[in-house]
Chains A and B, each alone.
Chain A
Amino acid sequence: MTRRVGIVGAAVTPFRAKWFEKTYYELAQMATREAVKDAGISIGEVDAVFYGIYNDIFERACIPEHPLQGICGMQNKFGIRISNGGATGAYTMSAAHAYVAAGRFKIALVLGVEKATDCYDFQSMSSTPEVIKTIAWSGDSFFEQQIGWSASDSYAEVVLAYMDEHPGDLKPEVTAQVSSLLSQNVRNNPYAQRQLDQVTPQEVLNSRLVVYPFRELEICVYSEGAAALILAEEETAKAIARNTGKPVVWITGVGEANEHSFAGRNQKVMSRIMSDHYGAHRAYEMAGIKDPAKAIEVVELHDAFVHQLEISCAEFGLVPLGRADALIEEGLMTPGGKYVVNPCGGLIYCGHAVGASNIMSAWSARNELIKRKLKTALVHGTGSTVAQYTACLILEHD
């Protein structure tokens, strides 16, 4: 019989475009220090660590987690690294949940870190072309790396295929409003890379095309930072909560799916993000959620691109496929609307420190459930080519 697992501590470092002052060693330790402090425990009480680090090349080392074991005070204990593309953080939480639920550990540390912008292109004298090149080593090495595959163009494939099927949806004026709204949300996140970067829909429309159909202000920004959670099994979680006075936020559902990376008959349906559909619905099933549109109040989703945010919400069952613009047009995600979507500003405004991003989303969802006295949140991570990977978690506040 599996055990209930709850979040009893959480922390993030500031997400920044560049941390000259710190390596990923220190970022990882900062998040760990703050998370155990938040849980009111000693690091010695933690049984296991689950590292979320996406890309070896960013950290400039294979098995980049090995120095962190000692740096984070976890020597001689269980440590495992999860690397699942953009969904690394969500999959790391999923793995940690499984071990704790299975009774292997009482308390686990989930630790995501990434330092993306040490990569540097000496031709353009800027980081971004080299950062996206580093990510582009994630494309298919036989068939796609040689023809300019990038994360943006692979997600654009999915978005354009969706728009082929639903030509009236994802209207430019709506995607611009979503971005503008996220830029307002980020005001309340002091750890965000772009906390003070509020933009109007017109400014979004005026920003340049990067990969058609994505404009600069509709794409997540690469970031450097770390995020950590302390997970505990039920009895331990309740004891910790009594000590800290902070409520336990329970992980009541977890669901994952990875699609085919090739497209066509019997393979990836390009106009859908079936990984999101299966991942979310498997998490709902585990949590006993029959109608997500009624149950879900807070959504902290991985918004690699605004258009994908809209499609993902449709795949989650929060809006109909083909009517994702209802998020704005029917006020579903506008202030006071049915769903609180990415109150942290999302990865577009808080930043995308890949291995840490989804863990940051869980940190935010936990804060929002407690602060707003809401019950249920959905946390999501997407990644790999053509939005192939998804992991979702349902968080519930008693």
Chain B
Amino acid sequence: MTERKASAKVIPTEIIPEPGSRTVAIDGKDYLVANDAMFTFYQRSKGELSPYFVALRDEKRILGCKCTRCGLVRVPPFLTHCPDCEFTPTELVEVQQVGVMNSTPPITYFATSLFQRMAPFGRGRVILNGADTALSVNVYTTTGILVPGLIKKGAEVKVVFRDDRIGESSDIFCVPTCELTPEQVEKKGLQESEINWEAAVIPQLPKASKEQVGIYEDSVREIASVIEEMNRTERAKRDIAEWKRDIQVKTMGGEFGILIDDGEIRLRQGKVASPDFVMVCEDPRVLLDGLAYRGALTDAVILKKLWISKNQEFVTIFKLDRMARSLARTSKR
């Protein structure tokens, strides 16, 4: 299943900080830094756009607007009169739920604070059959993490409706039709629960040869050395300030833990009690290269060389990538 920004409250309670302040000392002077927020609540009318969102929510239909003079069909129906035809009125029409990507969609790996749980996700524009303009949608694959090259310009995609719809643009998303059965492609109002989503399972590692055990031991020694250096580097330590994660790392030659605790990072041999998440990589050199800034861990996850048990832990992967860069920057000085 694909996640979307969802919460019991309009502002997710888990993102709201406690009131408070702290003092930052710079060059012998203190500066006060206070926790704060700007917020406004709305009961916002969708006005003339209401038929579009009601049709998404209640009827699983997609509406556009057709200019009664030039015939251009705009989806979504974001205007009532055509500016290309001296503001001739438009009329609502229904369009099909299959279309093609207007261009290759970007993939977000590092999302805003509201969408971190959703990442990675694609967002692109689909020209639905019967439409002349492109509708902005999320795009997903049923086969796991969305990787570059999987969905390109011209790819045929199918609109999928969420089971729980609220009358927002996030009520729908698209998946490639090649990942669906002909019946699913044909079906109007296809819902996400009708699709087989590939479940995330911990990859099984083959038994290690003697040589691979040797690689493991060398790599762990080197990882330990990089981690020690990180602990001596102020910039790298700042990257994990106020962050705490116990990570179990499993590789073909053995397993160990990486423990992050508010500016400190440590390596521990063997199993970690109650890890926050698990990393699996056949070859421990993938992790070593990431930490030593010879290739990004983010890319290793995308390229399936490194598996993580929770997508939202991309944020920890980013922090480790950031530490690697901080170490590389500091080493140059």
- Kindly list chain B residues whose C-beta atoms are within 8 Å of the C-beta of A211: 106-110
Does residue B41 face the partner (Cβ distance < 8 Å to A)?
Answer: no
Contact B123 A149 (CB under 8 A): yes
Contact B329 A156 (CB under 8 A): no
- Kindly list chain A residues whose C-beta atoms are within 8 Å of the C-beta of B108: 148, 150, 152-153, 211
Contact B169 A160 (CB under 8 A): no
Complex CA–CA separation, A206 to B289 (angstroms): 10
- Return the CB mask of A124-161 against B: 1 if under 8 Å, else 0: 11101110110010001011101111101100110011
Among B35, B138, B302, B328, contact of A148 (Cβ-Cβ < 8 Å): B138
Contact A262 B33 (CB under 8 A): no
Contact B110 A210 (CB under 8 A): yes
Find residues 156-190 in chain A having any chain B CB closer than 8 Å to their own CB. Answer: 156-157, 160-161, 163-164
Among B24, B109, B113, B135, contact of A124 (Cβ-Cβ < 8 Å): B113
- Kindly list chain B residues whose C-beta atoms are within 8 Å of the C-beta of A265: 72, 132-133
Contact A148 B136 (CB under 8 A): no
- Return the CB mask of B31-49 against A: 1 if under 8 Å, else 0: 1010110100000001001
Q: Given A143-B136, A208-B321, does the pair A264, B116 have CB atoms closer than 8 Å? A: no
- Return the CB mask of B113-149 against A: 1 if under 8 Å, else 0: 1111011010111010001111111100000000010
Does residue A209 face the partner (Cβ distance < 8 Å to B)?
Answer: yes
- Kindly list chain B residues whose C-beta atoms are within 8 Å of the C-beta of A60: 36, 38
- Kindly list chain B residues whose C-beta atoms are within 8 Å of the C-beta of A125: 241-243
Among A164, A208, A266, contact of B103 (Cβ-Cβ < 8 Å): A164
Does residue B29 face the partner (Cβ distance < 8 Å to A)?
Answer: yes
Among B107, B114, B168, B170, contact of A133 (Cβ-Cβ < 8 Å): B114
Does residue A239 face the partner (Cβ distance < 8 Å to B)?
Answer: no
Q: Given A123-B113, A206-B295, A212-B107, does the pair A144, B46 have CB atoms closer than 8 Å? A: no
Find residues 43-91 in chain B having any chain A CB closer than 8 Å to their own CB. Answer: 46, 49, 72, 74, 76, 78, 84
Contact A147 B325 (CB under 8 A): no
Which of A20, A140, A144, A203 gathers the greatest number of chain B CB atoms within 10 Å?
A20
Contact B138 A57 (CB under 8 A): no
Does residue A330 face the partner (Cβ distance < 8 Å to B)?
Answer: no
Does residue A263 face the partner (Cβ distance < 8 Å to B)?
Answer: yes
Find residues 205-222 in chain A having any chain B CB closer than 8 Å to their own CB. Answer: 206-213, 215-216
Among B15, B74, B121, B138, contact of A122 (Cβ-Cβ < 8 Å): B15
Among A122, A150, A160, contact of B112 (Cβ-Cβ < 8 Å): A150
- Kindly list chain A residues whose C-beta atoms are within 8 Å of the C-beta of B84: 266
Does residue A267 face the partner (Cβ distance < 8 Å to B)?
Answer: yes
Number of interface residues of B (CB under 8 A): 77
- Kindly list chain A residues whose C-beta atoms are within 8 Å of the C-beta of B299: 208-209
How far in angstroms is the closest Cβ of chain A from B64?
Answer: 11
- Kindly list chain A residues whose C-beta atoms are within 8 Å of the C-beta of B46: 142
Contact A143 B38 (CB under 8 A): no
Complex CA–CA separation, A143 to B134 (angstroms): 12
How far in angstroms is the closest Cβ of chain A from B228?
Answer: 21
- Kindly list chain A residues whose C-beta atoms are within 8 Å of the C-beta of B148: 212-213
- Kindly list chain A residues whose C-beta atoms are within 8 Å of the C-beta of B123: 144, 147-149, 153, 157
- Kindly list chain B residues whose C-beta atoms are within 8 Å of the C-beta of A291: none
How far in angstroms is the closest Cβ of chain A from B245?
Answer: 11
Complex CA–CA separation, A196 to B330 (angstroms): 10
Contact B113 A146 (CB under 8 A): no
- Return the CB mask of B254-296 against A: 1 if under 8 Å, else 0: 0000000000000000000000000000000000000001111
Q: Chain A: which residue is nearest B170 at the CB level?
A: A146
Q: Chain A: which residue is nearest B79 at the CB level?
A: A262
Contact A262 B111 (CB under 8 A): no
Contact B296 A207 (CB under 8 A): yes
Contact B134 A161 (CB under 8 A): no
- Return the CB mask of B235-246 against A: 1 if under 8 Å, else 0: 000000111000
- Kindly list chain B residues whose C-beta atoms are within 8 Å of the C-beta of A197: 329
Contact A157 B124 (CB under 8 A): yes
Complex CA–CA separation, A11 to B72 (angstroms): 50
Complex CA–CA separation, A126 to B36 (angstroms): 15
Q: Chain A: which residue is nearest B325 at the CB level?
A: A207
Q: Chain B: which residue is nearest A206 at the CB level?
A: B295
Complex CA–CA separation, A280 to B254 (angstroms): 59
Given contacts A209-B299, A262-B133, list 6 more A-B pairs with CB under 8 A. A21-B29, A143-B76, A156-B106, A164-B153, A209-B109, A266-B84
Which residues does B use to contact A, with CB under 8 Å?
A: 5, 14-17, 24, 26, 29, 31, 33, 35-36, 38, 46, 49, 72, 74, 76, 78, 84, 102-116, 118-119, 121, 123-125, 127, 131-138, 148, 152-153, 168-170, 173, 241-243, 293-299, 302, 315, 318-319, 321, 325, 328-329, 332-333
- Top 6 nearest A-B pairs by Cβ distance? A264-B133, A156-B106, A208-B296, A161-B103, A208-B298, A133-B112
5 A–B contacts, CB within 8 A, in A order = A132-B111, A143-B76, A148-B5, A208-B321, A216-B296
